[in-house]
Amino acid sequence: MFEMGLGKVAAKTFYDVEFPKGHVGIKSFDAELVDEEGNSVPLYEAYLHLWFAIKYQEKDWNMSKIIPKDPMEGAIYIRNDGTCNTYILPIYWGLGAESRGAKSKIPDPYAVEHGNPSKIPFGYQEKWLLNLLIIDTRGTEDREGCTECRCDHFNLPTNFYNVTVGIDGKPLGSSYKGGLFCCQTVQIAKGF
């Protein structure tokens, strides 16, 4: 759970989310953005830019006398195998705004496997993380520009292009006009 506010961006990753325990098959995974009472939040108020759920295996630090500063150290991120052989046609749980209200269902006899003890290395636990990027568009002058994460719509630091690196590991150039790197947590869109 987290709080939003006019023009704010929430980019959050929740580790070890509540998930069924044991060796199970998952047939569907649906998402909806709701308020504290469980009511659906309209897309024109809070834009669910993206969400995804990923299975990972985390070291069981209770088995070790050494606990690192980063408990995710050594984590193994797992792709779902998919319906044909290993890693061919993998299943991903996650989409963007288009997924709101949509239902997913994997047809019989298929399912996404979770908790198979033979696939979890000794000393690890299988867990899931949930990543969200939500933009509160209430009161914005240009909702479309905000939902596209256009850099000129956000109050970015003056040294943004010097300190922000792209997926290639190099600093972003001034030609980068918009995208995920401009939608940072606690950024407030201009025009309020």
pLDDT digits (tens, 9 = 90+) for 93-142: 777 777 777 778 888 988 888 888 998 899 888 888 888 888 888 888 88
Stretch among 70-74, 79-83, 141-145 having the lowest mean pLDDT: 79-83
**What are the residue boundaries of the structural domains of the chain, listed by start?**
9-138, 143-192
pTM more than 0.85: no
Separation of alpha carbons 146 and 7, rounded Å: 8
From the CB of residue 149, how many other CB atoms can be counted at a distance below 10 Å? 23
- The band of 192, judged by pLDDT with boundaries at 50, 70 and 90, is very low
Separation of alpha carbons 131 and 52, rounded Å: 5
DSSP string for residues in 53-81? EEEEEEE-GGGSS---SSTTTT-EEE---
Q: Give percent of the chain above pLDDT 90.
A: 3
Q: How many helices (H) and strands (E) does the chain have?
A: 2, 7
